[in-house]
């Protein structure tokens, strides 16, 4: 787990020590400032605990009816993208609200909601007004991973919307994928696709000669597997040995395996070049990768 990264399966709800370790978070990391114990053997993200408190306090003083939406709504749903400030809300109340740290947008009618939070599809759509393409797709992947929506529901919702941000959301939803396990996998997939490489499959189970295994990204047609190596792979000896067995198996079947570490990810052009070379060795004949201004803004920052 990178220092700035929280596994998505730990967001939005309390979790146990066993769940944390399964996600690659050690007991030592749990004792750090980002996590708060909530009971015997259970934890919650400290940022989410504080954010929920702030949102609840703000709702007590804002005109009724008001809902949390946009990035704030996503973060309350456990999708930790964007900045926690300002807190974002929508209301039908005619009074304009001007308050430091709070942004309230007036709408003609409130979206469907639960517990003062707009539905996930609405939060994602309105977040398109401020998130860049990479963060918006990452949020969409995360919503699907947490089973808060489906790709069909998200596509239908933004496809029929005429609100601000709908154009950006429609462009982003075409890149959202189900089965993505982490924000780093979203980053890796978008790094390749937005440079012009074909869309890989996300986290499929690939049958080997001796055993089957789930892989992060795969181009079956071109026999290329791509794995993002998080810290949990190094810290878990059994997982490390299982990975070695899997990789040996896949190599014997003719697959090229590209392993992306945090260090390699610091050089996104190199990542694209490595994958492109492997694809071409496997028969890919598409155009050369292109690093346009949008790609550079998203990945070379």
pLDDT tens for 224-248 read 999 998 654 455 566 656 666 677 7
Q: Which of 37, 229, 12 is nearest to 142 (CA)?
A: 12
Measured CA to CA, the distance from residue 12 to residue 109 in angstroms comes to 27
C-alpha distance from residue 67 to each of 89, 93, 164 (Å): 5, 11, 18
Residue 173: pLDDT over 60: yes
Residue 190: pLDDT over 90: yes
In tens, the pLDDT along 111-124 reads 999 989 999 999 99
Q: What is the DSSP letter of 114?
A: E
Q: Whose structure tokens read 């490489």? A: 197
Q: What is the average per-residue pLDDT within 26-53?
A: 79
Contact 153, 112 (CB under 8 A): no
Which domains does the chain carry? 8-46 (no CATH), 48-173 (no CATH), 183-299 (3.40.960)
Measured CA to CA, the distance from residue 228 to residue 232 in angstroms comes to 11
Measured CA to CA, the distance from residue 27 to residue 24 in angstroms comes to 10
Please give the angle made by the CA atoms of 196, 201 and 290, to the nearest 5 degrees. 10
Burial (CB < 10 A; 0-12, 13-18, 19+), residue 283, is exposed
In tens, the pLDDT along 53-100 reads 889 888 988 999 999 999 999 999 989 899 999 999 999 999 888 888
In angstroms, how far is CA 103 from the centroid of its own chain?
24
End-to-end alpha-carbon separation of the chain, Å? 21
In tens, the pLDDT along 131-171 reads 999 999 999 999 999 999 999 999 999 999 988 889 999 99
- Joined together, the tokens standing for residue 240 give 């490390």
Contact 139, 173 (CB under 8 A): no
Q: What is the pTM of this model?
A: 0.82
- Residue 149: strand, helix, or coil: coil
Range list of β-strands (E), the chain: 15-16, 35-39, 42-45, 66-68, 87-91, 102-106, 113-114, 117-118, 201-202, 205-207, 212-214, 217-219, 224-228, 256-260
């Amino acid at each position: 787990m990178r220092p700035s990264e929280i596994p998505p399966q730990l967001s939005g709800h309390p979790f146990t020590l066993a769940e944390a370790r399964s996600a690659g978070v050690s007991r030592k990391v749990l004792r750090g400032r980002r996590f708060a114990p909530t009971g015997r053997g259970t934890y919650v993200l400290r940022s989410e605990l504080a954010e929920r408190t702030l949102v609840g306090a703000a709702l007590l003083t804002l005109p009724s009816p008001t809902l949390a939406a946009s990035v704030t709504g996503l973060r309350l749903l456990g999708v930790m993208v964007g900045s926690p400030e300002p807190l974002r809300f929508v209301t039908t109340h005619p009074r304009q609200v001007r308050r430091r740290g709070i942004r309230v947008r007036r709408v003609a009618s409130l979206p469907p909601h639960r517990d003062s939070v707009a539905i996930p599809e609405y939060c994602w759509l309105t977040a398109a007004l401020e998130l860049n393409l990479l963060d918006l797709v990452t949020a969409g992947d995360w919503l699907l991973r947490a089973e808060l929506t489906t790709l069909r529901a998200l596509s239908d919702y933004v496809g029929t919307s005429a609100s601000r941000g709908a154009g950006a959301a429609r462009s982003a939803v075409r890149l959202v994928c189900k089965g993505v396990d982490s924000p780093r996998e979203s980053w890796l997939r978008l790094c390749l696709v937005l440079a012009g490489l074909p869309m890989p499959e996300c986290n499929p189970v690939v049958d080997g000669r001796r055993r089957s295994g789930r892989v992060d990204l795969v181009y079956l047609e071109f026999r290329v597997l791509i794995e993002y190596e998080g810290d949990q792979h190094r810290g878990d000896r059994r997982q490390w040995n299982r990975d070695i067995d899997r990789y040996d198996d896949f190599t014997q079947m003719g697959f090229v395996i590209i392993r992306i570490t945090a260090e390699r990810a610091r050089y996104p052009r190199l990542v694209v070049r490595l994958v492109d070379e492997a694809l071409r060795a496997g028969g890919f004949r598409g155009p050369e990768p292109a690093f346009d201004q949008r790609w550079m803004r998203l990945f070379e920052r």
